């Protein structure tokens, strides 16, 4: 009886997977996207545009290496501009994947199974995009390797008190663990693709990638254990990466940076933007590849709820920043608040409030949460808002810090924009390749969601 | 094949290679210093040489087509080598120059030597010591022995070293644009001179700038004796005609006025920016003025009635902004108020001001000083003379002497006469010695048309640059820079400084002395000319000792002019009509950075922020806030300024404190033939200048064009009020009364010293802990320190575009802040170098340890280690760090390579840099002290005062003190113990080693409302 009631409740909330699927249909549906679906003109066009944008980024970086970071809009006092804004923005986006895969796995949120694969891929690509910036934003990028502690004859060792060194470790660890987690999750599906591929080369490549996966019970047992362990390992990283990134600012003494609230506020913001990006990808993908059966309204709803929750944490952060600026009695914090509200960049601060706090309140309405088009637009607004948040924190704080004579303005140049848009191109290029050659939804995990998989219930 | 294999004949290899070795040697024996080897033949005067020059390669060199001709090549190489080595076989004439302190035999590579010489601007010499590294002058310092310098310099002297190495200097003699030689010039001029000889030189005109050189004067007298009908004209756009005419009005003769600010308790400036770089005696005046600003002793009071806001006005205890044309009226009222009658003024506030000033002056008879601005009409000067006489200041704070100017004529009239002579065809041979009248002569004279006229048959230009004037002359003679020549000049007090060369002329130029000598048919060298003149003056047998001592000290002892006993004639000074109060007044002023335009190709000066506006690379039409509001103008709006039908177009700059109905435009910009830095910068305001109104004109008209022009200012906010109602107390100031009541007023915000759980490094244990104090009360914002720092530390010039993007590289900046009413604000200066924080926020965040602390408390930059994350700059609350966003340093130009200080790293792209407290100087003296101590077997100690940072050394005001703060007896430690001492942003607990002494103003209680 209870089962029956529970079932109906779930149905009412929209199912995680639409009824009528079996192991075979799931496998067919997902693997066919990679193996049998012809490459459409739409894909080619999208890929070409993204690839061109990537090339534009490489061109901009080439000029950067030839001439120096002076081609950007940074100056004294604004030593960090678009590069660091974009870095933090991308890193933030890269939070959703691991959160969905690891934390929701540990919390046994099985709905995650339909979106974790491409969320993880999205994470990797976002972190890769983020990784472009710290490497190239230095004045002498050919010496970036000095940030790593390695034995050398120069009597040289990194300065471990600097948050930038912590960044190096946090981001590289996060990338490595995310990559491993993603790859291990892919192994059973590689096996499936290997078995179903007709093309000899595809068989060979998928065969290599599947690392001898045969699907035996022992394999599964080991696999489950490894996956769980990695999930345990990745979970603290979700929290630590953006915490460390926020230290870049919190450790500094610049008003607007020097805030203890940054770690939780940055992590929440990261998840906020990460889910926005997941939705921005999931909504068109499920439409184009007819995956509404697997990525259902339930997923959209849940993601929207996560956004609503994290959005409020972010809003709390803004409120506390403003409150301490007003209440703290520190003339520099008060000056920062004044500058945000009335300074030359005030418009962007109000835009930030609108994008991150105002518009997302529409998510309180169920209609909005389940309407793909609105959800897509709101996600876009949130991504813009989160970019503005980093701009407000990093750039606006630097424009007016302590000594009035050194107040300045920041104007991005075309090279800033080319690099930024270029990384979006790079991200999309990778996404296009991903949906074309890898199963974008985890086949075996979806199969776990089917009633057929619930064998133990029968006993 | 056969024909090309022909061996080239020797004549083909080097046409006319019958170079007479004897002739070469003979010529060489008459020139000074090693010359470029190619000039050997120029000296020999062979015209064939020129053909060779133009061919680029000798004949035959281009015929090296196959293996057989290689022999020809080898012959060529052999010949070139032999020629290149010819200098080695020639004994050069001996010309001794004497080092300042160390004997020549002590030349140690890596150790600089110092030579005394002098820099001349507007005829006034600034005595210098020039640092030389193995024969390359690298840094200008003031001559501490000389009363006009006392070790400091102004910014023009500091920057003059860059001019010497300027790659855009005229590098050879040219005739009608073709390369020629000095001997050719001398030969070709012989004809015209013979003709003129018969006419007693009636067709000869020599146009010079203001000259104070006794030798030059002597030469000119000889020349004029030889050609009695010839005329010597003098013109400089920044001339002192008004001063001269004012003196004539008052005394009936041209006299020089010298002031002694050290004795003046009350100073009144009638629109005189006597602290401005380039004005006579400014270095000494600033020193004396600043010394009298000690609030713990007898503090002087400065009243300034001024038009264009200036550093002098900024330092005033009371400043009255009035239009320049109204100063005369004020002076008259003041003079009559001094005489007992009530101060008359339409404005009650102004009347009160005048009454208070008059009372204060009268209270300090004999200890007051009235000084009038050079651009004010003669009447104002005469009134000032009368006031000084009435106040009994003559002989106490004001002295009259013979004029420093060797030819004190009214320069405007002198030029007018020359122009009319040129028009009338009376001028056959015109020799222009320096200057640039085509660019800077008053517009109504039409100098350019008069010059560029076949009636003036031979036009000779002698100068450092092939400028606008040189372009219209037949002969262009490349002059030597003062660091390359022998000469002499008088300082503001008349003391003669000897100018001795620091280096052989880079481009083989000739000095003005050699030019005049050549006109008289002699080929004497500058050394001979100057030395023989002084031999005539000092006839004793001890001449050699005298000469050596003079060169060593840099000046001829006892040549200061003795004060004259003069009293101002009680003649009625003709009153000018009161100016129309609604007419727009146009003020033309020399530029604070590039003077009259002669320094426009000097990148250091172009990029030097002007003291009040902090603008670089441009001039602007400065207007007051009231006028801006009325006319609806914003800074950087382009307007047309019209004056009597002549127009210039330029951007507006709203200058706080500028009087209404008045605009100020700086001259010197808009050059068309200045060089890579100066050409095209700013707009030319000389078209507005006429002989009748050199400085102040009424009846201007401003029209908005609707365009917009970007000006590059280096300062973000020029006020400490940031808009939210808060004032950031960067400059802390109080009045003298407030200070006496609450001496420790500047100390607020300072956190307790040991507010940490983690005890830091104990600097008390270090033998030396370097610290600096900057006395804001003394600093007059003259900018000398910025240029000194740039020169000492190889700081690059980044150009207007980069400056406007906020990427200027000055390690030391001077912030100017305005407070109060925008129309009449108080202004403050604050030099900000690296504060060398003990708790340095920059060090913590550097990921690669490129900025670290030394045991002496220095915040060191390790350029090699820097990867350029710029995190340190973000975290620096003072924003004193500078980043090489691009490759700002010029690594290519050979001249700059030899100019740089070899003790300081030349930074590359992508590296952060900042003030080091001149760590190279610290190390030098530490090593010296240690060496001496080891030799004498005693513990070493760097003597207080032995280390001077570059900014400190150049500071005319003595505002910067540097030394060991662990040594309680050191000057800097004593200053730090003063109540006025405070740290900038000390509330952040950065514990800066650089601290400031708060500014104290001494307002007249009667004027306090």
> What tens digit of pLDDT does each residue of B933-989 get?
888 888 888 888 889 999 999 999 999 999 999 988 999 999 999 999 999 998 888
Quick one: average pLDDT of B285-311?
92
Say yes or no for a CB contact (<8 Å) between A67 and B886: yes
Architecture, CATH, for domain B173-239+407-554: 3-Layer(aba) Sandwich (3.40)
Q: Which helix or strand (DSSP H or E) is residue B401 part of? A: strand B398-401
Does residue A241 lie within any of the structural domains?
A: yes
Tokens (6 digits) for B351: 């009347």
Say yes or no for a CB contact (<8 Å) between B870 and A163: no
Predicted confidence (pLDDT) at residue B598 exceeds the cutoff of 50: yes
- A204-243 residues touching B, CB cutoff 8 A: none
Quote the minimal CA–CA distance from A244 to chain B in Å.
13
Quote the minimal CA–CA distance from A110 to chain B in Å.
42
Cα separation values, B315 from B194, B224, B357, Å: 58, 47, 16
- A342-381 residues touching B, CB cutoff 8 A: 342-343
Position B341 scores a pLDDT of 62
Tokens (6 digits) for B483: 């660091």
Position A459 scores a pLDDT of 44
Q: State the CATH number of the domain containing residue A261.
A: 1.20.1630.10
- A296-335 residues touching B, CB cutoff 8 A: 331, 334-335
Does residue A258 lie within any of the structural domains?
A: yes
Quote the minimal CA–CA distance from A394 to chain B in Å.
10
B840 close to B989: Cβ distance less than 8 angstroms: no
- The CA distance from B992 to B970, in Å, is 18
What residues are paired with B852 via a beta bridge? B860
Does residue A6 lie within any of the structural domains?
A: no
Q: What is the DSSP letter of B730?
A: S
**How many Cβ atoms from other residues are within 10 Å of residue B107's Cβ?**
14
Q: What is the DSSP letter of A354?
A: I
CB neighbour burial string for B354-368, b if at least 16 within 10 angstroms, e if fewer: bbbbbebbbebeebb
Predicted confidence (pLDDT) at residue B51 exceeds the cutoff of 80: no
- What is the CB-side half-sphere exposure of residue B297 using CA atoms within 13 A? 9
> Residue A404 is nearest to which of B728, B806, B874, comparing CB atoms?
B728
Quote the minimal CA–CA distance from B352 to chain A in Å.
35
- What is the CB-side half-sphere exposure of residue B833 using CA atoms within 13 A? 30
Quick one: average pLDDT of B298-311?
92
Position B15 scores a pLDDT of 40
Say yes or no for a CB contact (<8 Å) between B868 and A402: no
- The CA distance from A454 to B687, in Å, is 95
B274 touches chain A (CB under 8 A): no
Question: What digits encode the pLDDT tens for the residues A330-342?
Answer: 888 888 999 999 9
> Residue A331 is nearest to which of B726, B805, B878, comparing CB atoms?
B726
Position A395 scores a pLDDT of 93
Residues of B in contact with A147 (CB under 8 A): 847-848, 867
Position B80 scores a pLDDT of 59
Which of A153-167, A411-425, B635-649, B757-771 is predicted least confidently? B757-771
| Three state DSSP letters for B904-969 | CCCCCCCCEECCCCCHHHHHHHHHHHHHHHHHHCCCCCCCCCCCCCHHHHHCCCCCEEEEECCCCC
Number of domains in chain A: 1
Return the residue matching tokens 């000798």: B58
Mind giving me the DSSP string for A77-142?
A: S----HHHHHHHHHHHHTHHHHIIIIIHHHTT-GGGGGTHHHHHHHHHHHHHHHHHHHHHSSSSGG
- The CA distance from B621 to B594, in Å, is 16
Domain B584-713 CATH class label:
mainly beta
Domain assignment of residue A88, given as a range: 15-453
Position B11 scores a pLDDT of 42
**Cis link prior to B306 (omega < 30° from 0)?**
no
Position B770 scores a pLDDT of 93
Residues of A in contact with B984 (CB under 8 A): 403
B881 touches chain A (CB under 8 A): yes
Position B961 scores a pLDDT of 94
Does residue A182 lie within any of the structural domains?
A: yes
**Confidence category of residue B105, pLDDT binned at 50, 70, 90:** low
Say yes or no for a CB contact (<8 Å) between B844 and A162: yes
Position A390 scores a pLDDT of 92
Position A368 scores a pLDDT of 85
A144 touches chain B (CB under 8 A): yes
Report ipTM (2 d.p.).
0.91
> Residue A338 is nearest to which of B715, B723, B874, comparing CB atoms?
B723
Question: What digits encode the pLDDT tens for the residues B675-695?
Answer: 888 888 899 999 999 998 899
B758 touches chain A (CB under 8 A): no
B878 touches chain A (CB under 8 A): yes
A415 touches chain B (CB under 8 A): no
**What share of chain B in percent tops pLDDT 90?**
54
CB neighbour burial string for A283-319, b if at least 16 within 10 angstroms, e if fewer: bebbeebebebbbbbbbbbbbbebbbebbeebbebbe
B869 touches chain A (CB under 8 A): yes
CB neighbour burial string for B166-179, b if at least 16 within 10 angstroms, e if fewer: bebbbebbbbeeee
Domain ranges of chain B: 10-89, 104-164, 173-239+407-554, 241-321+365-401, 584-713, 733-1001
B588 close to B669: Cβ distance less than 8 angstroms: no
Residues of A in contact with B911 (CB under 8 A): 139-140
Predicted confidence (pLDDT) at residue B19 exceeds the cutoff of 70: no
A96 touches chain B (CB under 8 A): no
- B889-928 residues touching A, CB cutoff 8 A: 909-912
Residues of B in contact with A138 (CB under 8 A): 867-869, 910
- The CA distance from A77 to A112, in Å, is 44
Say yes or no for a CB contact (<8 Å) between A69 and B910: yes
- The CA distance from B26 to B212, in Å, is 33
What residues are paired with B258 via a beta bridge? B399
Low-confidence ranges of chain A (pLDDT < 70): 1-14, 453-459
Residue scoring higher pLDDT (B300 or B1009)? B300
CATH 3.40.50.200 fits B733-1001, yes or no: no
Predicted confidence (pLDDT) at residue B43 exceeds the cutoff of 60: no
Confirm whether pTM is higher than 0.80: yes
Say yes or no for a CB contact (<8 Å) between A75 and B807: yes
Domain B104-164 CATH class label:
mainly beta
Whole-number average pLDDT of chain B: 86
Position B98 scores a pLDDT of 62
B531 close to B441: Cβ distance less than 8 angstroms: no
- A7-66 residues touching B, CB cutoff 8 A: none
Quote the minimal CA–CA distance from A128 to chain B in Å.
20
Does residue A7 lie within any of the structural domains?
A: no
Which of B333-347, B428-442, B936-950, B963-977 is predicted least confidently? B333-347
Quick one: average pLDDT of B481-495?
92
- The CA distance from A17 to A291, in Å, is 10
> Residue A162 is nearest to which of B830, B847, B866, comparing CB atoms?
B847
Question: What digits encode the pLDDT tens for the residues B813-831?
Answer: 999 999 888 888 999 999 9
Quick one: average pLDDT of B555-574?
79
B716 touches chain A (CB under 8 A): yes
Residues of A in contact with B865 (CB under 8 A): 146, 156
Which of A153-157, A447-451, B45-49, B698-702 is predicted least confidently? B45-49
Cα separation values, B866 from A150, A171, B87, B913, Å: 17, 22, 46, 9
Chosen for mutation from A70, A72, A153 (greatest number of chain B CBs closer than 10 Å) is A70
Say yes or no for a CB contact (<8 Å) between B846 and A159: yes
């Amino acid at each position: 009886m209870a089962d029956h009631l529970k079932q109906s409740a779930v149905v009412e909330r929209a199912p995680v997977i639409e009824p009528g699927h079996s192991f075979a249909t799931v496998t067919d549906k997902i693997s066919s996207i990679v193996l049998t679906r012809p490459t459409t003109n739409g894909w080619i066009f999208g890929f070409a545009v993204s690839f061109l944008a990537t090339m534009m980024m490489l061109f901009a970086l080439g000029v950067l290496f030839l001439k120096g970071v002076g081609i950007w809009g940074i100056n004294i006092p604004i030593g960090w501009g678009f590069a660091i804004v974009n870095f933090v923005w991308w890193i933030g986006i890269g939070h959703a994947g691991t959160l969905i895969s690891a934390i929701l796995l540990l919390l046994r949120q099985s709905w995650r199974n339909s979106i974790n694969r491409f969320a993880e891929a999205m994470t990797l690509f976002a972190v890769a995009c983020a990784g472009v910036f710290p490497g190239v934003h230095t004045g002498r990028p050919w010496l970036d390797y000095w940030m790593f502690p390695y034995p050398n004859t120069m009597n040289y060792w990194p300065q471990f008190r600097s948050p930038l060194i912590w960044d190096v470790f946090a981001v590289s660890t996060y990338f490595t663990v995310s990559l491993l987690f993603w790859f291990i999750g892919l192994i059973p599906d590689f096996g499936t693709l290997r078995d179903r591929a007709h093309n000899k080369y595809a068989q060979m490549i998928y065969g290599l990638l599947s690392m001898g996966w045969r699907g035996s019970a022992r394999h599964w047992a080991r696999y489950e254990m490894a996956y769980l362990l990695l999930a345990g390992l990745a979970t603290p990283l979700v929290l630590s990466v953006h915490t460390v990134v926020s230290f870049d600012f919190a450790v500094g003494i610049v008003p607007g940076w020097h805030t203890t609230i940054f770690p939780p506020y940055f992590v929440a913001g990261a998840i906020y933007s990460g889910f926005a990006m997941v939705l921005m990808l999931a909504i068109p993908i499920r439409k184009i590849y007819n995956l509404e059966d697997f990525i259902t309204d339930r997923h959209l709803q849940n993601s929207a709820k996560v956004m609503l929750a994290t959005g409020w944490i972010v809003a709390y952060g803004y409120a506390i920043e403003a409150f301490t600026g007003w209440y703290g009695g520190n003339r520099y914090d008060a000056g920062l608040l004044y500058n945000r509200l009335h300074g030359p960049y005030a418009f962007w601060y109000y835009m930030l409030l609108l994008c991150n706090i105002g518009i997302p309140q529409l998510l309180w309405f169920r209609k909005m949460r389940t309407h793909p088009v609105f959800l897509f637009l709101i996600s876009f607004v949130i991504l813009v808002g989160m970019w503005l948040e980093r701009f407000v924190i990093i750039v606006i704080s630097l424009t007016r810090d302590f000594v009035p004579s050194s107040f300045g303005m920041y104007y991005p140049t075309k090279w800033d924009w080319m690099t930024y848009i270029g990384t979006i191109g790079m991200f999309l290029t990778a996404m296009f390749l991903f949906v074309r050659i890898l199963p974008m939804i985890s086949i075996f995990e979806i199969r776990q969601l089917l009633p057929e998989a619930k064998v133990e219930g029968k006993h | 094949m056969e024909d090309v294999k022909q061996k080239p004949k020797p004549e083909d290899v080097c046409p006319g290679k019958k170079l007479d070795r004897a002739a070469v040697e003979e010529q060489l024996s008459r020139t000074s210093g090693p010359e470029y080897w190619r000039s050997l033949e120029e000296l020999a005067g062979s015209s064939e040489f020129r053909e060779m020059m133009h061919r680029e390669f000798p004949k035959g060199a281009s015929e090296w087509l196959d293996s057989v001709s290689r022999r020809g090549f080898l012959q060529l190489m052999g010949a070139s080598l032999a020629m290149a080595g010819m200098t080695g076989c020639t004994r050069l004439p001996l010309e001794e120059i004497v080092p300042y302190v160390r004997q020549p035999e002590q030349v140690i590579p890596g150790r600089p030597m110092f030579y005394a010489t002098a820099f001349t601007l507007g005829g006034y010499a600034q005595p210098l010591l020039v640092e030389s590294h193995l024969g390359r002058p690298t840094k200008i310092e003031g001559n501490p022995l000389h009363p006009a310098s006392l070790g400091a310099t102004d910014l023009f002297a500091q920057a003059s070293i860059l001019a010497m190495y300027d790659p855009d200097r005229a590098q050879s003699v040219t005739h009608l644009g073709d390369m020629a030689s000095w001997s050719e010039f001398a030969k070709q001029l012989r004809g015209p001179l013979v003709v003129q000889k018969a006419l007693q030189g009636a067709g000869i005109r020599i146009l010079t700038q203001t000259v104070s050189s006794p030798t030059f004067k002597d030469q000119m007298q000889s020349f004029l004796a030889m050609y009695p009908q010839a005329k010597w004209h003098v013109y400089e756009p920044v001339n002192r005609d008004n001063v001269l005419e004012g003196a004539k009005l008052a005394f009936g003769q041209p006299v020089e006025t010298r002031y002694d600010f050290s004795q003046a308790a009350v100073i009144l400036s009638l629109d005189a920016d006597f602290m401005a770089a380039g004005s006579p005696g400014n270095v000494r005046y600033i020193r004396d003025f600043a010394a009298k600003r000690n609030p713990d002793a007898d503090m002087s009071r400065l009243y300034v009635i001024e038009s264009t806001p200036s550093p002098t006005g900024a330092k005033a205890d009371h400043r009255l902004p009035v239009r320049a044309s109204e100063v005369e009226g004020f002076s008259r009222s003041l003079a009559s108020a001094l005489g007992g009658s009530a101060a008359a003024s339409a404005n009650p506030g102004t009347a009160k001001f005048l009454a208070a000033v008059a009372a204060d002056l009268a209270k300090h008879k004999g200890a007051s000083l009235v000084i009038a601005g050079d651009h004010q009409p003669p009447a104002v000067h005469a009134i000032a003379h009368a006031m000084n006489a009435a106040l009994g200041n003559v002989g106490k704070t004001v002295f009259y002497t013979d004029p420093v100017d060797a030819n004190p004529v009214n320069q405007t009239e002198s030029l007018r006469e020359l122009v009319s002579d040129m028009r009338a065809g009376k001028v056959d041979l015109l020799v222009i010695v320096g200057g640039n009248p085509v660019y800077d002569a008053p517009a109504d004279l039409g100098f350019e048309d008069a010059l560029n006229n076949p009636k003036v048959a031979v036009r000779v230009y002698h100068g450092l640059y092939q400028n606008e004037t040189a372009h219209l002359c037949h002969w262009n003679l490349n002059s030597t820079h003062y660091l390359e020549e022998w000469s002499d000049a008088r300082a503001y007090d008349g003391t003669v400084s000897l100018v001795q060369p620091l280096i052989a002329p880079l481009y083989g130029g000739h000095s003005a002395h050699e030019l005049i000598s050549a006109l008289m048919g002699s080929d004497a060298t500058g050394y001979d000319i100057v030395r023989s003149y002084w031999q005539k003056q000092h006839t004793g047998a001890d001449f050699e000792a005298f000469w050596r001592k003079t060169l060593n000290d840099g000046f001829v002892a006892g040549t200061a002019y003795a004060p004259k006993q003069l009293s101002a004639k009680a003649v009625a000074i003709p009153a000018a009509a009161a100016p129309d109060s609604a007419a727009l007044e146009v003020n033309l002023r020399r530029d604070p950075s590039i003077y009259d335009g002669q320094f426009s190709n000097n990148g250091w000066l172009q990029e030097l922020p002007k003291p009040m506006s902090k603008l670089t690379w441009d001039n602007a039409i400065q207007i007051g806030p009231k006028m801006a509001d009325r006319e609806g103008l914003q800074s950087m709006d382009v307007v047309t300024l019209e004056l009597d039908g002549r127009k210039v177009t330029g951007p507006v700059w709203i200058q706080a404190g500028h009087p209404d109905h008045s605009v100020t435009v700086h001259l010197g910009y808009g050059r068309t033939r200045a060089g890579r830095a100066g050409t095209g910068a700013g707009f030319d305001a000389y078209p507005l200048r006429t002989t009748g109104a050199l400085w102040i004109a009424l009846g201007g008209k401003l029209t908005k064009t609707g365009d917009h022009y970007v000006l590059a200012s280096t300062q973000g906010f020029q006020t400490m009020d940031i808009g939210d109602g808060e004032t950031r107390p960067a400059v802390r100031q109080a009045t003298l009364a407030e200070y006496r009541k609450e001496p420790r007023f500047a100390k607020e915000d300072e956190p307790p010293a040991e507010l940490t759980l983690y005890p830091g490094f104990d600097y008390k244990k270090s033998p030396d802990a370097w610290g600096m104090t900057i006395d804001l009360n003394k600093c007059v914002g003259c900018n000398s320190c910025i240029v000194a720092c740039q020169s000492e530390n190889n700081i690059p010039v980044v150009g207007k575009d980069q400056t406007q993007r906020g990427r200027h590289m000055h390690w030391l900046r001077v912030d100017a802040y305005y407070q109060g009413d925008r129309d009449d604000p108080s202004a403050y200066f604050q030099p900000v170098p690296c504060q060398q924080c003990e708790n340095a926020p920059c060090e913590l965040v550097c990921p690669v340890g490129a900025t670290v602390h030394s045991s002496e408390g220095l915040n060191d930059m390790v350029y090699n280690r820097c990867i350029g994350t710029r995190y340190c700059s973000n975290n620096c609350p003072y924003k004193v760090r500078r980043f090489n966003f691009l490759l700002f340093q010029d690594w290519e130009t050979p001249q700059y390579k030899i100019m740089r200080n070899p003790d300081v790293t030349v930074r590359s792209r992508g590296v952060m840099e900042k003030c080091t407290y001149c760590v190279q100087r610290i190390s030098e003296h530490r090593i010296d002290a240690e060496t001496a101590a080891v030799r004498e077997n005693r513990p070493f100690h760097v003597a207080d005062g032995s280390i001077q940072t570059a900014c400190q050394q150049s500071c005319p005001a003595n505002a910067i003190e540097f030394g060991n703060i662990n040594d309680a007896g050191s000057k800097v430690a004593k200053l730090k113990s003063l109540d006025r001492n405070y740290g900038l942003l000390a509330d952040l607990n950065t514990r800066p080693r650089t601290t400031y002494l708060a500014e104290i103003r001494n307002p007249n209680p009667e004027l306090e409302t």
